[in-house]
Chain A
Amino acid sequence: MTAGCADRAVPGILRPALLNGIKRVNFMYLTKEEEQILNGEAGETLRQAIQILVALGDIYGADRLIPIKSAQIAGVSYKTIGDAGLEWISDLEGQVKVPATLNPAGMDLEDWERLKISPEFAEKQKAIVQAYKKLGIRCECTCTPYTLEGFSVSYGDHLAWSESSAISYANSVIGARTNREGGPSALSAALLGKTANYGFHLDENRVPEVSVNVEFPLKESDYGALGYVAGKLIGNRVPIFHLKGKPKADELKALGAAMAASGAVALYHVKGVTPEACRMNFGEPEEKITIERSQLDEVYESKGKEPELITIGCPHCSADELKKAAELLKGKTVSKETWIFTSRELTKRCPEYIKTIEESGAKVVCDTCMVVSPATNSYSCVMVNSGKAFAYVPGMCGAESVYGNMEACIEKATAGKGKKAGGSH
């Protein structure tokens, strides 16, 4: 006997119009071409890709598939996806239909020996990146794809991105539209050039649900600390912030990255600052949260062991942030292991800053970060200026994290060493 009729079923063809005599409702409309892909007429890779998009669309009540402008794919570090991920990606065939790029990998792809990555790990990591490259994906492994040449994003663009801080930036700071894609769904979207129309692609899901008031001035790493505190209170809702002053792009990047890590915030608004808050006539949400300076101080004052490693660049440093790090390190020598993460493209655009930073003994590292690289796991306490890294380092790297602004991080990194010119090192 049939004990129960499923409303959804995978795998197999997901979409018979009738199932055991019951008309299925709320399923996506597919074009004739999309139906053919789902039936396997365009090959196994695209069949699996569209099956993933349709399954997600059906779960979330999408009406159809919509074209996307670009994809950004997570699931790159061998530390996170392991042999399973490598095998799955290697088995896929074909070419992406829209510009697509990758999340940070587990190591600097050109200079992996510097952070003492094992040859075994390096070999697997290279194989993963190679497997993505074979599919036509740009192998710039960065969490700030919106800074890349030829990867521009505009207000209202539909995207399929999966790095949580980049999602937050695209949705909130640029006003583009993407859900929080997983690695396989972002890759599927890239291969099809489409995604399912649900969630943050729709106006009604972009309306603020909770108001966050901050009545004291904020500067630089304060935004990461604010995001860390606020993300826990907001969860996966859409907040609208009321702030004193106008945050810069890097400060918004830090705020969003931290909220996506301590909570699951994919979109936020800042009254008078972010594009949708300026263009849409949002009402004030009923629920209001007020954040006090003392809550941010708790992040700065979190106790840990003496940091053995100083890391900057989560998300990857912008040109402005590299400039600031270079100015702070100029003429100094670091006494502690110090890593500054950015995208490879920016190192080529800013060679002077890189030279100054490297002269101090600090290392500029590309393609990876302190969270996804196994290199961090061999330290017991890491100092960060990022709310996101502060949230993830303990769980992902088994190390304590302590928080400070960039000045404090560089001060800690260079403590006990005088100026180079003084010959004290």
Chain B
Amino acid sequence: MISRDPISFLGSVDPRTGVVVEEKHSLAGKSIKGKVLVFPHGKGSTVGSYVMYQLKKNEAAPVAIINLETEPIVAVGAIISEIPLVDMLEKNPYEFLKDGDSVLVNGSEGYVELLKSEGGQKEE
């Protein structure tokens, strides 16, 4: 799932359901639960880190996060919630990933693998 907009976990995401509740957000009304979530970076209150933890406890968290360049709120939230997170990829994720693609994110070794693209064909 791809978001062009930065995400503030405090206030923009319902911690019980994972649904984006910020009205003018490009993901408004959609759930980030179980998704590999691509967004540029976090924003807003540092309490957002705890909201990521709450999402995880409620089984409503993304399964992995890809940021263009992460910042402390999301990085700390990912660590305490044990959500794999990678950033500063060699290729721009907005260019090689599309909404609906299947991707593998390896947070301990730090890479992203495109498994199946939206169009159905496997890219090499």
- A7 B54 Cβ-Cβ under 8 A: no
A10: contacting residue among B85, B96, B111, B124, CB under 8 A: B85
- B90 A4 Cβ-Cβ under 8 A: yes
Say whether B82 faces chain A, with CB atoms less than 8 Å apart: yes
User: Which of A11-19, A116-124, A240-248, A349-357 binds B?
Assistant: A11-19
A83 touching B54 in the complex, CB below 8 Å, given contacts A5-B90, A12-B109? yes
List, in ascending order, chain A residues with CB within 8 A of B84's CB: 9-12
- B47 A5 Cβ-Cβ under 8 A: no
Smallest CB separation, B40 vs chain A (Å): 15
Alpha-carbon distance A183/B51, docked complex (angstroms): 13
Alpha-carbon distance A3/B110, docked complex (angstroms): 11
- A1 B113 Cβ-Cβ under 8 A: yes
A6 touching B112 in the complex, CB below 8 Å, given contacts A55-B76, A59-B71? yes
List, in ascending order, chain B residues with CB within 8 A of A20's CB: 109-111
Say whether A182 faces chain B, with CB atoms less than 8 Å apart: yes
- B79 A4 Cβ-Cβ under 8 A: no
List, in ascending order, chain B residues with CB within 8 A of A56's CB: 72, 75-76
Alpha-carbon distance A16/B106, docked complex (angstroms): 14
- B86 A88 Cβ-Cβ under 8 A: no
A82: contacting residue among B54, B97, B110, CB under 8 A: B54
- A84 B15 Cβ-Cβ under 8 A: yes
Size of the chain A interface, CB-CB below 8 angstroms: 37
B88: contacting residue among A6, A88, A183, CB under 8 A: A6
List, in ascending order, chain B residues with CB within 8 A of A51's CB: 79
Interface hub of B72, B78, B90, B103 (most chain A Cβ within 10 A): B72
- B46 A6 Cβ-Cβ under 8 A: no
- A10 B113 Cβ-Cβ under 8 A: no
- A10 B107 Cβ-Cβ under 8 A: yes
Say whether B39 faces chain A, with CB atoms less than 8 Å apart: no
Task: Kindly report which residue of chain A lies nearest to residue B71, judged by CB atoms.
Answer: A59
Alpha-carbon distance A8/B124, docked complex (angstroms): 24
Say whether A2 faces chain B, with CB atoms less than 8 Å apart: yes
Alpha-carbon distance A85/B76, docked complex (angstroms): 13
Say whether A185 faces chain B, with CB atoms less than 8 Å apart: yes
- B80 A184 Cβ-Cβ under 8 A: yes
B15: contacting residue among A1, A10, A82, CB under 8 A: A82
Say whether B24 faces chain A, with CB atoms less than 8 Å apart: no
Say whether B28 faces chain A, with CB atoms less than 8 Å apart: no
User: Which of A73-81, A339-347, A363-371 binds B?
Assistant: A73-81
Say whether A48 faces chain B, with CB atoms less than 8 Å apart: yes
Interface hub of B57, B78, B79 (most chain A Cβ within 10 A): B79
A88: contacting residue among B46, B80, B83, CB under 8 A: B80
- A75 B85 Cβ-Cβ under 8 A: no
Interface residues of B in 81-118 (CB under 8 A from A): 82-91, 93, 96-97, 103, 106-114
Interface residues of B in 37-60 (CB under 8 A from A): 46-47, 49-51, 53-54, 57
Alpha-carbon distance A164/B84, docked complex (angstroms): 30
Say whether A327 faces chain B, with CB atoms less than 8 Å apart: no
A13 touching B108 in the complex, CB below 8 Å, given contacts A4-B90, A5-B90, A84-B15? yes
List, in ascending order, chain A residues with CB within 8 A of B2's CB: none
- B90 A87 Cβ-Cβ under 8 A: no
A75 touching B50 in the complex, CB below 8 Å, given contacts A6-B86, A10-B75, A182-B72? yes
A6 touching B89 in the complex, CB below 8 Å, given contacts A11-B82, A16-B109? yes
- B113 A2 Cβ-Cβ under 8 A: yes
A4: contacting residue among B53, B75, B111, B123, CB under 8 A: B111
- A59 B70 Cβ-Cβ under 8 A: yes
List, in ascending order, chain A residues with CB within 8 A of B110's CB: 5-9, 19-20
A8: contacting residue among B46, B47, B73, B86, CB under 8 A: B86
Smallest CB separation, A38 vs chain B (Å): 12
- A55 B75 Cβ-Cβ under 8 A: yes
Say whether A52 faces chain B, with CB atoms less than 8 Å apart: yes
Alpha-carbon distance A10/B106, docked complex (angstroms): 9
Smallest CB separation, A359 vs chain B (Å): 38
- A1 B75 Cβ-Cβ under 8 A: no
Smallest CB separation, B119 vs chain A (Å): 16
Alpha-carbon distance A10/B124, docked complex (angstroms): 26
List, in ascending order, chain A residues with CB within 8 A of B75's CB: 10, 52, 55-56, 59
Smallest CB separation, A182 vs chain B (Å): 4
Contact flags (1/0) for A30-59 with B, using CB distance below 8 Å? 000000000000000000100110011001
Alpha-carbon distance A127/B60, docked complex (angstroms): 25
Alpha-carbon distance A11/B53, docked complex (angstroms): 14
Smallest CB separation, B97 vs chain A (Å): 8
4 A-B pairs with least C-beta separation: A12-B108, A84-B54, A9-B110, A4-B89
- Identify 11 residue pairs between A and B in the complex whose beta-carbon atoms are under 8 Å apart, listed by A's number: A1-B113, A3-B89, A4-B111, A7-B88, A9-B107, A9-B111, A11-B83, A75-B50, A87-B54, A87-B57, A184-B50
List B residues at the A interface (Cβ < 8 Å): 15, 46-47, 49-51, 53-54, 57, 70-73, 75-76, 78-80, 82-91, 93, 96-97, 103, 106-114, 123-124
